[in-house]
Amino acid sequence: MRKLWLIFAQTVTISLAVAFVVATIRPEWLGDLPWPAASRPEPAAPGAAVPPAANSFREAAKRALPSVVHIFTSQKVRAPRHPLADDPLFKHFFGDEGELDDPRKSGLGSGVIVSPDGYVLTNYHVVEGADQIEIALDNGRTHKAQPVGGDPETDLAVLKLLPGKDGAQAFPAIDLGRMEDVGVGDVALAIGNPFGVGQTVTMGIISALGRSHLGINTFENFIQTDAAINPGNSGGALVNVNGRLIGINTAIYSRSGGSLGIGFAIPISTVRSVMDEIIRTGSVTRGWIGVEAQEITEELAESFNLPDTDGALIAGVQRGSPADKGGVKPGDVLLAVAGQPVKDPQAMLNLIAALKPGETVAFTFRRQKTPVQLPIRIGKRPPLRRDGRE
């Protein structure tokens, strides 16, 4: 009996192995075999839509793609005036200098339509200095656009699409997401126009949140993603699996100019606040006190006899600034702004920028080991300066 059972088991095993090999290499040989009712595939009706696979993001791309646009800019470049430009003989042979030297600098990037009436969000560096802006929609139509305003310190700008020849129309606006719903490990899609090849979607995950101290912008709070971002993607959309905007692609980390899987996007929380203020007033107003701050290293903490490295060391105070009038001195260590702790100069910058010009706020300092609280009347932050001053 045992011998018969072993023969049966071996026969079944060999038969299954043969069936598996045949099904893999020559499945047509099994075409006439009956299928179990539960696993029999139903043929698709002619013209019926095939449902997407479980790991497909086609619906997210379908929702977001119409809202992502291509931005083409041009800017007149003023060449140095030729020393012989006014010479009659020179003009006779070469014409006026204006006819000879009228070079234009062109550029391209991406943008996102954020409202049906035609507001477009992009990076400030995409449209900086441009005197002509043309936007190509996903449907192939092109529109002229005019700048509404920009914020170089977050690298954001808002444009307004001008109606086409057929008059006013509703533009396909993207749905805005919420930063509270974004987490490390979430799938993200980057949409833009890399290298000018056309609308492109790449996929990755959210690698990190709150990236700063990168030296890209004055105010940094980036989303880091490994979705491929390349030149021309600037100003394009970073969306979630529902096709909602969660960031504006703005920079890559690269030594070669190509994508290395480290891209940065401005988060939707920053995008919303900056965009709303630009649309409302044309610019962004921030608080300012006029100090130059330095990060406290272990060596500085030891030399100044500080208990820790928290805070921002005041390295300089601008004469006549709110800080100067409030009694701030070089060597003070800023510990808190309006009761909110200051961890480093970047945190100080963000806290002060969020204050309204004209209001008086309590600043807490450490001066020669003694806590000092000074009321300071907040001023208006001047236009961008790249010398490290706040």
The residues that are catalytic are: 125, 155, 234
Nearest to 372 by CA among 332, 338, 315: 332
Residue whose structure tokens are 């057929």: 166
How far apart, in Å, are the Cα atoms of 30 and each of 14, 15, 40? 17, 14, 13
Nearest to 213 by CA among 343, 83, 300, 119: 343
> Cα separation of 361 and 377, whole Å?
6
> Cα separation of 304 and 314, whole Å?
12
Residue 57 main-chain phi, psi, to 5 deg: -115, 30
Residue 357 main-chain phi, psi, to 5 deg: -55, 135
HSE-up of residue 304 (Cα within 13 Å, Cβ side): 26
DSSP helix/strand/coil, 299: helix
DSSP letters, 84-145, are: TTT-HHHHHHH--HHHH---EEEEEEEEEE-STT-EEEE-HHHHTT-SEEEEE-TTS-EEEE
DSSP helix/strand/coil, 385: coil
Q: What is the CA radius of gyration of the chain?
A: 30
Query: What residues form DSSP beta bridges with 133?
Result: 73
Do 377 and 363 touch, CB atoms closer than 8 A? no
Burial (CB count <10 Å: 0-12, 13-18, 19+), residue 9: exposed
> Cα separation of 147 and 133, whole Å?
8
Do 354 and 388 touch, CB atoms closer than 8 A? no
